[in-house]
């Protein structure tokens, strides 16, 4: 599922998504009207039926929107009028079935005092997307921090996700980590972050052909690596030079242009440090610049740094009303949770590079990440493929376990 966003911090609450808010509002009415004490089992059954009917209706609205989108007139759909910021749905979403599966696990309809929440709806949308894409899945891309491993940590050996990722590779599905972490062409540093997963490949004795389906794309879209079996049957990463794959149409910028853009971003971040009296270090990389605090910052301070940098770069490129994806040099200015970074390029480009290389269309590509807020760096992928919005590695494991049941 996808949505197009206008970034306006003053008008958007934290963790707000227009489609999720619309669905929450629809579910709230029957919850409020029918929350009087009744027989417990009757209450659960009737609530489940009402919620199921609502999800069925929204499912039909989405299908109608897809039909209008295929005709080239998406704004004519009823859903577009109800949720003007709605984007493209690359697959149908079986929301009624997804609700029934999630409700069986989480007992949403059994609650009397807490209505269906943002996270409930998010998980139902994730389930529906997994159910829809499973039959034709060709490529799964993942964010790194807080999606596959804890923020700033490494992929641990014997993690529950290891077996699930190996299963995808053995089914012929391509798997890639698309991460903001940018270490240039230094494969060793990425191998260190993923040491537990690579060790898991070795324990499972993946065939060379299976291992070759696993990629890492660092710096959002700038540094591509593939998995190879090295001397001593050790699984490692091998840098793929730009000449080995086609990205010229997606990364059409020069190093001089990149450095000029990073100069603007660095100046803006330093201004943020000064005016908010932040204790932080400014780090400059070949295709990124970041603010790394020396003491914990609030979410609002990090959002301010991200949005200030974003606006400065849009103004510099002459398009203050555009999106970061729609300017001559696309970029991503994002709140990383504990820091703030500006990267040249973005995950939209990264996913499209992999789609082109692996011949995976949007309806067969799934991106899993935790940063889908207005200042998150997973948001742009909604334009290129189907998505699942998770909040931690445990949820990633849960959705992959459900996906495994659907093959």
* 359 conformational bin, left if phi > 0, alpha if psi -120 to 50, beta if neither: left
Q: What are phi and psi of 372, to 5 degrees?
A: -110, 15
Angle, alpha carbons 370-119-59 (nearest 5°): 100
Residue in the block written with tokens 């995808």: 168
**40 class by beta-carbon count within 10 Å (0-12 exposed, 13-18 middle, 19+ buried):** exposed
Q: Using N-to-C axis directions, what is the helix angle for 118-133 and 18-33, rounded to 10°?
A: 120
Separation of CA 9 from chain center = 20
Q: Are 309 and 268 in contact (CB under 8 A)?
A: yes
Catalytic pick among 17, 106, 120, 143: 143
Q: What is the dihedral of CA 312, 14, 179, 220, to 10 degrees?
A: -30
CA distances from 211 to 178, 196, 228 (A): 17, 15, 7
Q: Are 160 and 397 in contact (CB under 8 A)?
A: yes
Question: 263 catalytic, yes or no?
Answer: no
* 75 conformational bin, left if phi > 0, alpha if psi -120 to 50, beta if neither: alpha
Question: 158 catalytic, yes or no?
Answer: no
Catalytic pick among 17, 106, 120, 145: 145
Q: Are 130 and 399 in contact (CB under 8 A)?
A: yes
Residue length of the chain: 407
Q: Which residues are annotated as catalytic?
A: 143, 145
């Amino acid at each position: 599922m996808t949505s197009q966003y206008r970034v306006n911090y003053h008008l958007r609450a934290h963790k707000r998504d227009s489609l999720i808010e619309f669905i929450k509002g629809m579910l709230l009415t029957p919850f409020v009207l029918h929350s009087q004490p009744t027989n417990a089992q009757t209450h659960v059954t009737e609530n489940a039926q009402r919620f199921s009917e609502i999800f069925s209706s929204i499912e039909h609205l989405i299908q109608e929107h897809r039909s209008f989108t295929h005709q080239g007139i998406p704004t004519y759909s009823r859903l577009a009028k109800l949720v003007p910021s709605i984007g493209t749905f690359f697959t149908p979403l079986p929301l009624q079935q997804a609700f029934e599966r999630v409700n069986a696990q989480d007992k949403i309809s059994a609650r009397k005092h807490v209505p269906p929440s943002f996270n409930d709806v998010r998980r139902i949308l994730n389930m529906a997307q997994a159910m829809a894409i499973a039959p034709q899945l060709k490529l799964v891309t993942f964010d790194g921090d807080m999606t596959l491993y804890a923020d700033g940590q490494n992929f641990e050996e014997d993690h529950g996700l290891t077996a699930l990722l190996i299963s995808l590779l053995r089914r012929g599905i391509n798997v890639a980590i698309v991460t903001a972490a940018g270490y240039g062409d230094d494969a060793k540093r990425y191998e260190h972050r993923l040491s537990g997963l690579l060790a898991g490949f070795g324990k499972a004795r993946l065939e060379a052909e299976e291992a070759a389906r696993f990629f890492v794309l660092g710096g959002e879209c700038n540094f591509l690596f593939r998995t190879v079996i090295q001397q001593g049957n050790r699984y490692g990463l091998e840098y793929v030079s730009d000449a080995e794959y086609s990205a010229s149409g997606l990364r059409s910028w020069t190093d001089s242009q990149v450095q000029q853009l990073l100069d603007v971003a660095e100046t803006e971040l330093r201004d943020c440090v000064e005016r908010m009296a932040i204790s932080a270090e400014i780090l400059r990389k070949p295709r990124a610049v970041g603010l790394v605090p020396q003491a914990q910052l609030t979410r609002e301070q990090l959002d301010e740094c991200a949005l200030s940098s974003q606006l400065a770069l849009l103004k510099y490129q002459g398009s203050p009303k555009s999106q970061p994806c729609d300017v001559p040099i696309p970029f991503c200015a994002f709140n990383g949770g504990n820091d703030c970074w500006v990267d040249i390029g973005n995950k939209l480009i990264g996913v499209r590079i992999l789609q082109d290389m692996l011949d995976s269309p949007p309806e067969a590509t799934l991106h899993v990440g935790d940063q889908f807020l207005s200042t998150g760096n997973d948001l742009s992928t909604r334009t290129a493929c189907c998505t699942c919005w998770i909040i931690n590695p445990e949820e990633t494991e849960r959705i992959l376990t459900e996906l495994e049941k659907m093959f």
